[in-house]
């Protein structure tokens, strides 16, 4: 197993892993072209990145964690650089779901506390390779890089019923800060990691 930073050539695989492993999420419902565009922006932007865990021999991506120093800046950069194309490929769905789009973008203020700007955006591991420590490897790599960039704290959001994700984040040093409803009727946990408690 090898852990390395993702580059643009990995974005389609990251989009595919996201869509196949997070089936109830809002972003996959916008289609593969939208997700591909989003991961291209993440790996190219100065403030955001993704770590991939790959098979040593084939370099096949088995899992990844995407993260950003500032989720607000990432969304703005995505809107400026990719908004037209991404909006066009997902237009019908975006129009139907404008409320969910706003809820997704605004959620960092939803719990009423001062949450860190840095965030783990996604973690997904190929279903055939779960439970082998890949999730922990890429999350640890991401928090370490954010800490090296001067981030004192990092947040992540996980569904309250996502036992695997909650266990993974707790294993990687995150603690539950609050419970929120980003979308009405769907409960999520906000977890925070502090570099001082490493
Ligand atoms: C969540 C996910 C990334 C975990 O990846 P993984 O490679 O299986 O995780 P690891 O092997 O590193 O395990 C980390 C910890 O989580 C626990 N864990 C993993 N899968 C679990 C499961 N299904 N149920 C309970 N605990 C689980 C492991 O036991 C381990 O804890 P331990 O060392 O105390 O035993 C993976 O299940 C996944 O891709 N899920 C779908 C996508 C998702 O929900 N992402 C998170 C929201 S963005």
Residue 104 beta carbon below 6 angstroms from any ligand 1 atom: no
3-state secondary structure of 144: helix
Which mutation among 67, 155, 164 tests ligand 1's pocket best, with the greatest number of atoms within 8 A of CB? 164
User: Does the CB atom of residue 14 touch ligand 1 within 6 A?
Assistant: no
The backbone torsions φ and ψ at residue 106, rounded to the nearest 5 degrees and listed phi first, read: -90, -10
For 136-184, the pLDDT digits (tens) are 999 999 999 999 999 999 999 999 999 999 999 999 999 999 888 766 7
- Rounded to an integer, what distance in angstroms lies between the CA atom of residue 137 and that of residue 30? 29
Per residue in 2-61, pLDDT (tens digit) is 999 999 999 999 999 999 999 877 777 777 888 999 999 999 999 999 999 999 999 999
User: What is the 168 CA–ligand 1 centroid distance (Å)?
Assistant: 5
Going from the Cα of 162 to the center of ligand 1, the distance in angstroms, rounded, reads 9
pLDDT reported for residue 108 = 61
How far is ligand 1, taken at its centre, from the CA of residue 92, in Å?
A: 34
Say how far apart CA 88 and CA 114 lie, in whole Å: 34
CA distance linking residue 114 with residue 106, whole number of Å: 13
> What whole-number distance in Å separates Cα of residue 195 and Cα of residue 95?
40
Q: Give me ligand 1 centre to Cα 6, in Å.
A: 21
pLDDT score for 88 = 74
For residue 152, what are its two tokens?
A: 């004192």
Distances (CA, A) of 144 to 39, 123, 141, 151: 20, 15, 5, 9
C-alpha of 87 from chain center: 20
pTM score, whole prediction: 0.90
Domains in the chain, please, with CATH? 2-197 (3.40.630.30)
CA of 21 to the centre of ligand 1 (A): 12
Q: Is the CB of 124 within 6 Å of ligand 1?
A: yes
Dihedral sign (CA 75, 77, 79, 83) = negative
């Amino acid at each position: 197993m090898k852990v390395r930073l993702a580059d643009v050539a990995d974005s389609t695989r990251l989009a595919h892993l996201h869509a196949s492993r997070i089936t109830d999420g809002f972003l996959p419902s916008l289609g593969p072209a939208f997700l591909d565009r989003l991961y291209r922006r993440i790996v190219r932007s100065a403030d955001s990145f993704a770590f991939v865990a790959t098979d040593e021999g084939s370099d096949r991506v088995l899992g990844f964690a995407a993260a950003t120093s500032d989720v607000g800046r990432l969304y703005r950069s995505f809107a400026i650089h990719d908004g037209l194309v991404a909006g066009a490929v997902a237009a019908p769905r975006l129009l139907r779901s404008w409320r969910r789009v706003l809820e997704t973008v605004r959620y960092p203020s939803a719990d009423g506390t001062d949450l860190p700007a840095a965030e783990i955006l996604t973690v997904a591991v190929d279903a055939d390779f779960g439970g082998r420590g890949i999730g922990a490897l890429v999350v640890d790599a991401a928090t370490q890089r954010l800490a090296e960039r001067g981030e004192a704290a990092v947040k992540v959001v996980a569904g309250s019923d996502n036992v695997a994700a909650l266990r993974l984040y707790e294993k990687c040093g995150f603690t539950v800060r609050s419970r929120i409803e980003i979308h009405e009727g769907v409960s999520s946990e906000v977890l925070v990691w502090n570099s001082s408690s490493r």
